[in-house]
Amino acid sequence: MSGAFLKGHNIASSMIQVGSVMKLPFRLTKIQVKTADRVSTILDLLLELNQNHKTMSKRAIFYKYKELFKTQDVSDKLINDVCCLIGATRRCLGITASPKGFVIGSLVIRENGKTFDPQDTQNLGKFICPLMSDFEVVACRAKFILVVEKEAYYSSLVEDKIHKKS
């Protein structure tokens, strides 16, 4: 495999033989090795997401590899760098910034052929992903729709079972 930056350069002629092992005539720093490991991990994850037709939030990626990235700022920047390297948006690669909301209450939703009733849920509702392409409300018995911007307020309202009060 020969990248554009190696065009016309024979990398084999730059290698040095040490015993039976061929080595490059330069050493990578620990930072370079760690960065390469992080980029490789992101690329592996993107391949897995693509093959399984899945999505994942930037935050979930950070927590999945917390020991590798150390801070979310590091993982976010590398994700953006990989997107630029590939020439695709995060959305096209199956990476979301964060959940775009949750829904709970007296309605029935069909997503990708599967029916879901958020009223039956025991948790905080159904996650709404910005990449949902096959999403429709099949039935609705709700008297009103309440839009809440902050997830903490939403969680508090769900804990108070506001969706079950008339």
Residue written as token pair 């506001």 = 162
- CB 141 within 8 Å of CB 107: yes
Which pLDDT band holds residue 83 (cuts at 50, 70, 90)? very high
Q: In whole angstroms, what is the distance from residue 119 CA to residue 164 CA?
A: 8
The fold of 28-96 is Arc Repressor Mutant, subunit A (1.10.10)
Quick one: which of 119, 121, 128, 117 has its CA closest to 151? 128
* pLDDT for 113: 75
Annotated domain spans of the chain: 28-96, 102-164
Task: Give me 124's structure tokens.
Answer: 């905080």
Please give the positions annotated as active site.
63
Which pLDDT band holds residue 121 (cuts at 50, 70, 90)? low
0.85 exceeded by the pTM? no
* pLDDT for 156: 79
Q: How confident is the model over 128-158, as pLDDT tens digits?
A: 665 556 677 888 887 777 777 677 777 778 7
Higher pLDDT, 21 or 69: 69
Quick one: which of 113, 127, 111, 131 has its CA closest to 53? 131
Neighbouring residues of 23: CB distance < 8 A, sequence distance ≥ 6 = 15, 16, 17
